[in-house]
Amino acid sequence: MTNSLNAQIHHEMEISNTMHRAMQDREFVLFYQPKVEVHSGYVGAFGCFWL
């Protein structure tokens, strides 16, 4: 295994561990955002994101 590949794997594992810890500690806040047609009021879709 090369040093760059090893560093990439290590970085991805750190990100994964941080995400799991944040989920366990309930550090995510989920928001839903409707996509509404202005003229008809039709809700065509929902988007979501977290902080």
Q: What is the pLDDT of residues 1-51, one digit of tens each?
A: 699 999 999 999 999 998 888 889 988 777 888 888 889 989 888 776 666
Residues paired with residue 47 on neighbouring β-strands, in sequence order: 33
At 32 the pLDDT is: 81
| pTM tops 0.95 | no
At 50 the pLDDT is: 64
Give residue 30's Cα distance to chain centre: 9
